[in-house]
Amino acid sequence: KDAYENLLIERHADGYAVVTLNRPEALNALNSALFKDLAHFLDAVEDDDAVRCLILTGSGDKAFAAGADIKEMADQTYAQMYKANFFSLGHDRITRFRKPIIAAVNGFALGGGCELAMLCDFIVASEKAKFGQPEINLGVAPGIGGSQRLTRLVGKSKAMDMVLTARMMDAAEAERAGLASRVFPHDQLMDEARKIAARIAAQSPLAVMANKEMVNAALETTLTQGVQFERRLFHSLFAFEDQKEGMAAFVEKRKPEFRGK
């Protein structure tokens, strides 16, 4: 269980797991085997009630992930990429995952690494984090959603600047631009990410899923459709015991005990 060639998994009693991209010799460059491991782990924990939130981070002190593995890609043909639907497995599996994933960006998040961070639900960054989409330097372009997600997160001007010049954004700029939600001193990043994950894991897991689903809907729908979706999902939360428990606990001035029912 949890034995992967390219990932380290640490499950915590507080209801979260830390997933560490583990190819430090290649600055955690993302290859097909790593995405396969990640997809497999997400399958394994999707229905595991003991894991209610994930933290994704990079091994070593330098990188979250320095991109897709250039050495794996370099000699690929169009036919091979098309047939394998290159990197769709990891991308699609992450977007289907219903529990929150926090990206704890501890260094370089470049190319596919930046795209992977943006596939997570939100990004917390160390002061040493550097974000970029430098694929243009290799004669290519983002390919795991970067051109779309970066533009939605930071707006067209900064996204265009990043992809066309390949420049890196530091943590302070990433926070200002809305790419990172919070920035922490480097040595405190994981402690802070763990506190956030434990806090989320203590909530009603049903409410957590519903909140994630609603916010994601904002990127896929019109405002009117999104508000309608939110309203209906809000109403449906009253079918759960956790809603009764949460509101009763407030009225009775005690801590709620959510049971995911």
Provide the annotated active-site residues: 68, 112, 115, 135
Other C-beta atoms closer than 10 Å to the C-beta of 160 total 14
CB of residue 135 to ligand CO8, shortest distance in Å: 5
User: Residues 90 to 109: which contact ligand CO8 by CB under 6 A?
Assistant: 108
Stretch that binds ligand CO8, among 65-73, 152-160, 187-195, 214-222 (CB under 6 A): 65-73
Q: Does 69 bind ligand CO8 (CB under 6 A)?
A: yes
CA distances from 163 to 16, 51, 113, 218, 232 (A): 34, 36, 14, 24, 38
* Count of residues that bind ligand CO8 according to CB under 6 A: 21
Closer CB to ligand CO8, 91 or 194, in the complex: 91
Provide the β-strand partners of residue 54. Answer: 17, 101
| Rg of the Cα atoms in the chain | 19
Contact (Cβ atoms closer than 8 angstroms) between residue 171 and residue 123: no
Q: Does 29 bind ligand CO8 (CB under 6 A)?
A: yes
Q: Does 167 bind ligand CO8 (CB under 6 A)?
A: no
Which residues, other chains included, contact 108 with Cβ-Cβ below 8 Å and sequence gap of 6+?
Answer: 27, 62, 63, 64, 65, 66, 129, 130, 132
Closer CB to ligand CO8, 137 or 225, in the complex: 137
Closer CB to ligand CO8, 76 or 216, in the complex: 76
Contacts to ligand CO8 by CB under 6 A: 26-27, 29, 66-71, 86-87, 108, 110-112, 134-135, 138, 142-144
